[in-house]
Amino acid sequence: MEHVEKSIEVDVPVSTAYNQWTQFEDFPQFMEGVEEVKQLDDKRLRWRAEVGGKRIEWDAEIFEQIPDRCIAWRSVTGELNSGRVNFEPLGSDRTRVSVKLNYRTETTLEKLGSALGAVSKRVESNLRLFKEFIELRGRETGGWRGQIEGRHVKSTGRLNEERSKRQHSASREVPTPLRSANDAISENQA
């Protein structure tokens, strides 16, 4: 398996960065190539993305999640991948977000793209888009503060919103890195 490791520093508290990352259905707003993420339950996600001009789908399961520290996943169907996102406070209003992504290349084209750094560049770009998204908003669109250890899910009372709750009105108020200010204004006037 191939792997990529990238990190970025964002100018928000660790809880804000972490809470936003738990809102998987919002990923298409700031992740290039991600078309849709559906939260099936607290542990399972269904992804649809475009990678290298090819539409792919897979289901993933979260097997570790510790508030303000990490989220780790692995695919259970479709494209083979796994990874981990770590959140490290660098002060009261600054956080390092680190991503490690493991993936399998199958075709010659995928192997060539990986050798040329296409996946690495996409991860780096998506971290920059996440930084722009969360810093522009200044706050998360929601958050899930439960904890996952293997098969066990523990819920907490703090910010324990259902993960699948969409925040359409909140996300339309502010332009995102993948939507221009004019698009946001046009949508709100419609």
HSE value, Cβ hemisphere, 13 Å, CA-based, for 103: 21
Average pLDDT over residues 68-91: 96
The reply to whether the predicted model has a pTM over 0.85 is no
> Count of domains in the chain?
1
Q: What is the CATH number of the domain that holds 45?
A: 3.30.530.20
Distance between CA atoms of 29 and 32, rounded to whole angstroms?
8
pLDDT at 159: 52
Pick the more confident residue, 51 or 182.
51
pLDDT confidence band for 187 (50 / 70 / 90): very low
Distance between CA atoms of 89 and 96, rounded to whole angstroms?
6
DSSP at 186: H
Lowest-pLDDT choice from 89-98, 113-122, 129-138: 113-122
Residue with tokens 């793209």, as numbered in its chain: 113
pLDDT confidence band for 190 (50 / 70 / 90): very low
Is residue 90 predicted with pLDDT exceeding 60? yes
Lowest-pLDDT choice from 89-93, 99-103, 105-109, 128-132: 105-109
pLDDT at 64: 97
Distance between CA atoms of 8 and 16, rounded to whole angstroms?
15
Distance between CA atoms of 25 and 16, rounded to whole angstroms?
16
pLDDT at 104: 82
77: domain range? 2-189
Q: What is the pLDDT of residues 20-41, one digit of tens each?
A: 999 999 999 999 999 999 999 9
Q: What is the pLDDT of residues 156-182, one digit of tens each?
A: 644 544 544 443 333 344 445 554 444
Distance between CA atoms of 170 and 138, rounded to whole angstroms?
12
HSE value, Cβ hemisphere, 13 Å, CA-based, for 64: 9
pLDDT at 96: 98
pLDDT confidence band for 128 (50 / 70 / 90): very high
pLDDT confidence band for 109 (50 / 70 / 90): low
Average pLDDT over residues 130-154: 94
Average pLDDT of every residue of the chain: 83
DSSP states of 78-135 as a string? ES-EEEEEEEEESSTT-EEEEEEEEE---SHHHHHHHHTTHHHHHHHHHHHHHHHHHH
Q: Are 128 and 134 in contact (CB under 8 A)?
A: no
